[in-house]
A and B are shown apart, each in its own frame.
Chain A
């Protein structure tokens, strides 16, 4: 049994020495590194289905409002760096004569610098910022944790004549991306950890 302990100790020390090769003596110095992290997900992660209907003869088609979904994230930011979440229609196009709006509510769960939220009209042409000013924070992971997102699909009234019935359903994909507020390249650890 004693031999077994020694073996494991030797294994641990040898593995440690691989990742902390510059430190001498190995057993006395601990480098504490907090990696720059930003990761997101949405709940629920299922397809959103939206169907337009006319509520009454003479009225326009009614707005279609999605059930709420929640964007959750964890961010560990270096000093003075913020992140943003931007959104675009990445595949497919929304039906003509309609608008697709995404309303994002402030996050009231989790902790940290959770940033500011916006309501934007989604397009295929350019990304719209839905959250900015994100520092180090987390939103939580429960069903209704995070930033509440509601999609509203509505007739673009001045362009109503452009609306066409879809043949079957029209699929699109919305892509949310978290990135540095100042640019697109992620922060690189200068120590090359």
Chain B
């Protein structure tokens, strides 16, 4: 057959095809997207003149000395599931604190450098080896990073009533106490 016939047949088939294109089935495109937010909680400590641990996923530790003065700050980020909250606890994890001494920790309110449902500070506590909640009812929020962000932490070394020595005599003993902060879900 000659080329002419092929062209003719092609034209006929094309005209039939054009008739179907008018249905315009391809004027819509659907794109599926999978969006995931896992529960997340992390904290870190900020402050001066004190050895601090590197940032950790859910906890941070700090070494306290009698010479540890000034304020420290706790920064955190939290994403919670519906109707759940996160809690920050603190405990002594290393060092022997003489029975005559108590370490008082005062926790400030969040300074408002971040956003979201930040936690509520507890009343001042005395550190112990038992974890104690110091910031509760943390929803989805972030505090910002570094000093003057998040909640202030203020340590005070106190002598128990009736102790028969003074703090200055302890300074020569290089007393060191390790404390650990953790953030976790639940009360």
Contact = CB atoms under 8 A, between A and B. Distances in A.
Are A and B genuine complex partners? yes
A57 B43 contact: yes
Interface centre among B33, B43, B75 (most CB of A within 10 A): B33
Interface string B30-67: 11111111111011100000000001000010000000
Nearest to A40: B29
B76 A161 contact: no
A176 B31 contact: yes
Nearest to A13: B8
Contacts of B104: none
B28 A170 contact: no
A50 B1 CA distance: 58
Interface centre among B11, B12, B43 (most CB of A within 10 A): B12
Contacts of B18: 33, 35, 193
B44 A176 contact: no
Interface string B5-24: 10011011001101101101
B33 A71 contact: no
A58 B146 CA distance: 8
A5 B5 contact: yes
A111 interface: no
Nearest to A189: B22
Contacts of A142: none
Contacts of A12: 5, 8-9, 12
A53 to B, nearest CB: 7
A139 interface: no
B142 interface: yes
A138 interface: no
A58 B76 contact: yes
A61 B36 CA distance: 12
Contacts of B140: 97, 160-164
Contacts of A42: 29, 31
Contact of B42 (A49, A52, A57): A57
A54 B81 CA distance: 15
Contacts of B44: 56-58
A15 B80 CA distance: 69
A151 B35 CA distance: 12
B1 A8 contact: yes
Contact of A177 (B28, B40, B55, B141): B28
Interface in A20-47: 33, 35, 37-42, 45, 47
20 contacts: A5-B1, A9-B8, A12-B12, A19-B16, A33-B18, A38-B27, A40-B28, A50-B33, A52-B36, A56-B44, A58-B142, A58-B145, A61-B77, A98-B35, A100-B33, A160-B142, A161-B117, A163-B37, A174-B31, A177-B27
Given A53-B38, A178-B27, 9 more contacts: A15-B12, A39-B24, A50-B33, A51-B36, A61-B40, A61-B79, A94-B35, A165-B39, A166-B38
Interface of A: 4-5, 8-9, 12, 15-16, 19, 33, 35, 37-42, 45, 47-54, 56-61, 69, 71, 90, 94-95, 97-98, 100, 151, 153, 157-158, 160-179, 186, 189, 193
